[in-house]
Amino acid sequence: MIHNEELNNQFFENLLSGRKDVCFRISEELLAEDMSIKELYETIIKPALYKIGRMWEYNQIGVATEHLATAITENILSSLYTSIRSTSKIGNSVILTCLENEFHQVGIKMVRDIFEKNGWDTFFLGANTPASNVVSLAKNIQPDVLAVSFSIFSNLAVLENMLVTFEKELEGLPILVGGQGFLHGGQEVLTKYTNVVYLPDLNTLEEFIITFKKMTV
């Protein structure tokens, strides 16, 4: 297998250029060589998307380029979903959402897939979901966990407002928070909330899921 750094560069360059077929081929070859889907997400796809996200934030690329890279990535994730989804459910459920006014939902889709792989029922709300709507659904279905994606650091106040709402309306519900927005800081605001857990990557997410499963059986 080619060294990960070279693969990262290959995937990134082709994603940036909109070469969908090459991105699919790289992903398929890595999986055929026994790379796990979680490792593909964490070590190949996520770094490329983070780099493209930073380029977009600093106006180094246009929105069309960023949208195309996102669309290709979502196509890859969709193609893998049937092989991820576990038919053996364990009885736990999670709601997954982005912040209000955020439209980058690839990261939270990866999080969804890790929950699905571990037998959870998932309720994926995606981009730009108002906190009040999340609360209404959570009160209706009574999930075990709520997962929130934070993609853009300038929306830190939006995240805090959502967490205040969730703490008030969904008392005691564990809330997982992660995303590219934290590359610029902001983790310290999470310490104000007793039920909020910061998870920096998919590996710590899976560790949380396994530990949670052990606690609830």
Identify the structural domains of the chain with CATH numbers, from first to last. 4-84 (1.10.1240.10), 93-216 (3.40.50.280)
Confidence of residue 1 (pLDDT cuts 50, 70, 90): very low
Residue-level pLDDT at 217 = 55
Q: Which of 67, 175, 167, 86 is closest to 127 using CA atoms?
A: 67
Residue-level pLDDT at 41 = 97
Confidence of residue 14 (pLDDT cuts 50, 70, 90): very high
Percent of the chain with pLDDT over 70: 96
Residue-level pLDDT at 3 = 53
Determine whether 210 is exposed, middle or buried from the number of CB atoms within 10 Å of its CB (0-12, 13-18, 19+).
exposed
Residue-level pLDDT at 216 = 67
pLDDT tens per residue across span 109-165: 999 999 999 999 999 999 999 999 999 999 999 999 999 999 989 999 999 999 999
Of 84-88, 141-145, 175-179, minimum mean pLDDT range:
84-88
Residue-level pLDDT at 82 = 87
| Beta strands per DSSP E along 144-191 | 145-149, 175-178
